[in-house]
Amino acid sequence: MTARLLDGQAIAAAIRQSVLPDVAAFATAVGRPPGLGIVLVGEDPASEIYVRNKVRAGTESGLWVDLQRLPSSATLEDLLVVVERLNRSDPHDGILVQSPLPAAMGRGAAQRVFDAIDPEKDVDGFHPVSVGRLVQGRAQLAPCTPSGVIEMLQRSDIPMSGARAVIVGRSEIVGKPMAMLLLQRDATVTVCHSKTRDLPALCATADILVAAIGRAGFVTPDFVRPGATVVDVGINRVTDGAIARRLFAPGSPRLADFERRGSVVVGDVHPDVVEVAGALTPVPGGVGPLTIAMLLKNTVAAAQGRQRPA
């Protein structure tokens, strides 16, 4: 058996297409397009790529995207001043501060920034008010990656109601909100982490297995019940040849790609899982494109919400 690959690119394109009428209607009614403010601190190479993709996708969808850059020497106070200015700015309907922040800003800096963003503009869904609404099942702006996973499962006809779902990873960004969203669709959810006992055996009970642990190829075939749906949220850049050869068989195109480039992007799920799972999200091309699509959808929702009477 070889798993059906779930095409995140195609689903993301459909989501982006679906927001176009709302963008046009908002622009006609308000006299301006929905606006997204993105703040990038420093010059982290991965963040540069992520932000460039967000700016391009937003612009192509008709949004006004305002990229604000701060040098790596900026302090947390400098960043909070920018966030407060965007909070007060009417044309900015959504605010996103790209993570990770420079280590020099100190431990807990990201949470202080998330707490400072106006909840009505919190398109990442990380503010405590946003989290509270999510837990209560009335989120206006849910975190983009878990929301994208739900869209993928729905559009791929993967049943969630009554399914046993296991999530590997308990982060505030993916693991915990993913659990809430699946619970709200009547799945029975288990969240696993580094202290979970008998992890492979527990994962192998899942109808839907979500890997969001940040370790290349961590989820191997023994974690997967035959026919299960496996969602790989991980994005890991491998530069170690020994790891690449552990993940990819001799002569495989991905190993050849590694040998040519000196690096390869892989998920948290080992490639051999494709022989066991019923459906699988590839990396790249699976969950990643959905995150940006849901960011655009959240920005439009935030814009619409700010125009409604209180």
- For residue 167, the SS3 value is strand
Half-sphere exposure of residue 257, counting CA atoms within 13 Å on the CB side?
12
Active site residue 98: yes
Phi, psi of 28 (to 5 degrees): -65, -45
Catalytic residue chosen out of the listed positions 98, 122, 176, 184: 98
**9: buried, middle or exposed (CB in 10 Å: 19+, 13-18, 0-12)?**
middle
Exposure letters 249-264 (e unless 16+ CB within 10 A, then b)? eeeeebbeebeeeeeb
Active site residue 54: yes
Tokens at 194, concatenated: 């580094």
Catalytic residue chosen out of the listed positions 93, 118, 122, 124: 124
Active site residue 124: yes
**Residue from 144, 100, 120 nearest 292 by CA:** 144
Residues with active-site annotation: 54, 98, 124
